[in-house]
Amino acid sequence: MAQELVLVVIKMIVVFAVALLIVAYLTYFERKIIGHMQLRLGPMRVGPHGLLQPIADGLKLFVKEDIVPHDSDRWTFYFAPILNLVCALVLLAVIPFSYNFMVTRLNIGVLYVLSLASVGTIALLLAGWSSGSKYPILGGLRSAAQIFSYEIFLGFSIMGVLMISGSLDLVKIVEAQSKVWNIVYQPVAFVVYVIAALGELNRVPFDLPEAENELVAGFHTEYSGFKFAYFFLAEYANMIVVSCMAVILFLGGWKGPVLPGIVWFLIKMCAFFYFFIWVRATFPRYRYDQFMRIGWKIMLPIALANIVVTGVVMMLV
């Protein structure tokens, strides 16, 4: 019993540490990749080829002055970014990186992930409201509205996969893909999932609430220093979680020839990262009303239709 506990604790620490490291270096690779796509080099100065850049950024945010606005609700102001980051990192507890490497195995893994992602949205609302000024409130409301709109059809796109796999357990879902990956059976759901992921992560082309040229600077206007770093880390941690889920649900998790499972998992995850970064470098951004229209009027019907078609095909086959 004690041995199991120690093992779980070790796994937790490993996953936590690796996740934070990946988050930090994800920011670095984003800057590098976007830079190269834009005919420039990206960070080059801090360390060889700028490899120590994330550490420098973290240190900078750490030593900044802690500013709390006068009109803010102090405790909520401190609590909101922590909640956001916690919700993002806790999701990693159920992700199976390999057939025997996961922190814990829940038989309702998918439900767990979807629910905690929604709790993260509450954190944004709290952050916006507790700042005590006009623009963060509006920005927070906007971001929250955007995220839960896209979460709805994120959930629906996963339904098709659940119907095929017959279980909410993430390990069983991957096992069900031992012959054919789910992307072959659910291409439409895959596309809808990817778009929902972009919307939920507040990334281009759906990043208007965060855009610099938007007047409303978003829910994290009043945050500076390490509290801002929490939001920043949470955004990239969410990106990791979303990519992991995509790999598990659609791309066969750790399945692959020759290399060990976890290596395949990481490769597929990095493919997703590259895709998200590539999209950021390429596309303009949608206006707020346009992407809400896309979410509700286009994506949601498609996701629902996908469920119906999957059901019908499953009955016939």
Q: Which of 59, 290, 308, 312 binds other proteins (CB under 8 A)?
A: 290
281 binds other proteins (CB under 8 A): yes
Q: Which amino acid is at 239?
A: M
213 binds other proteins (CB under 8 A): yes
Subset of residues 133 to 162 that bind other proteins, contact rule: CB under 8 A: 134
Half-sphere exposure at residue 271, Cβ-oriented, CA atoms within 13 angstroms: 11
120/295 with CB nearer other proteins: 295
Instruction: Report the Cα–Cα distance between both ends of the chain, in Å, rounded.
Output: 45
**CB of 278 within 8 A of CB of 168?**
no
CB atoms within 10 A of CB 104: 12
Pick the stretch among 19-27, 49-57, 190-198, 281-289 that binds other proteins (CB under 8 A): 281-289
Q: Closest by alpha carbon to 261, among 14, 19, 103, 96?
A: 96
39 binds other proteins (CB under 8 A): yes
Write down the least CB distance from residue 290 to other proteins, Å: 6
Pick the stretch among 54-62, 72-80, 193-201, 283-291 that binds other proteins (CB under 8 A): 283-291
211 binds other proteins (CB under 8 A): yes
298 binds other proteins (CB under 8 A): no
215 binds other proteins (CB under 8 A): yes
The span from the CA of 86 to the CA of 107, in Å, is 22
Q: Which of 286, 302, 304, 309 binds other proteins (CB under 8 A)?
A: 286
**CB of 123 within 8 A of CB of 84?**
yes
Write down the least CB distance from residue 27 to other proteins, Å: 16
Q: Which of 3, 4, 40, 75 binds other proteins (CB under 8 A)?
A: 40
CB atoms within 10 A of CB 300: 19
Q: Closest by alpha carbon to 188, among 317, 66, 45, 300?
A: 300
285 binds other proteins (CB under 8 A): yes
Write down the least CB distance from residue 21 to other proteins, Å: 27
The span from the CA of 99 to the CA of 173, in Å, is 11
175 binds other proteins (CB under 8 A): no
Q: Which amino acid is at 144?
A: A
Three-state DSSP state, 290: helix
Write down the least CB distance from residue 215 to other proteins, Å: 6
Contacting residues toward other proteins, per CB under 8 A: 34, 37-40, 134, 204-205, 207-208, 211-215, 281-290
